[in-house]
Amino acid sequence: MRPPPHILVVNGVKVRRPVFVLAAPHSGADLLGRALKRSPGFHVTMGRPAVAHVIYAFARKPSIASGRGSGAARVLRDALADSWQLLPGSCFECPGSCREAGGVTGGGPCATPGTVARFGDAGPDLLYSAPVLLQAFPDARFVQVIRDGRDVTADMLADPACLAWFKPSMLSEETEFPNAFLGVKSEEHRDRWKAMPTAGKCALRWRGAVRLSAALRQELPKDQLLTLRHESLLDDPAETAETLSAFLETRVSKVALYAAAGPPPGSWRTRLRPEDAALVEKVAREELGRLGYLS
């Protein structure tokens, strides 16, 4: 039985049915975050430092989040409540990607106090804290985005922030296993991971993320979880906006989705070296096949 909902008030508004966007790296969370940020009544944050600190602590050491009691939920709820505050200069604490997505040129805020009815977050790697988010906000709505792991790998290989997670020191003696964040099942695979080419490490991260996404589909009812394809988001933004609007029971901006830019689906064929593409398919063949990405 779920605990009774915690009543959280931010900017004088009760937080009801907050929206959280979940995805593997470079799978489209930022695109949906942009659309939500520019939709009437929404205040959506993306990568605020206080929230990111908690998210990555839970991702790297899941035992913190899975411990007894509601401490983890309280910590994450407080971090989000702080990030949702609409104060003069508050947007200076946001990363550039969040400010750009909201069209902010100064200190903000990116939303107008008095017009906000729904809150949300589309920061990177929220996926690993989904159970804690559900505990903190039992009425939350989750939107997860799935993308071809080969296209994801191509983008990750070009992103220094993603590559920073693949340093050998990331699997220290204090690392907990299984480690869904890096996609490593057990301690005995530590040395194999450290010696693996970077493309393989990217594939492991993607594989771990989509396995978590599949588990969520089994655990959450349809009225709380919507799964979208990154490819559909780019190919038919109007239908994606309609689907998302129906799920969230509020209008979501189509314009922001039409403005989405990035490499087209299947561009991994020219962006990945043949040996890297082969390695990704070897590491994540089961998931690529289950999701229909292997012909």
Instruction: Judge contact between 230 and 152, C-beta under 8 A.
Output: no
Query: What mean pLDDT value characterizes the chain?
Result: 90
| DSSP assigned state of 141 | E
Per residue in 17-36, pLDDT (tens digit) is 999 999 999 999 999 999 99
| DSSP assigned state of 284 | T
Q: What phi, psi does 215 have (nearest 5°)?
A: -65, -40
**pTM of structure:** 0.93
| DSSP assigned state of 168 | G
Per residue in 237-275, pLDDT (tens digit) is 999 999 999 999 999 988 888 877 778 999 999 999 999
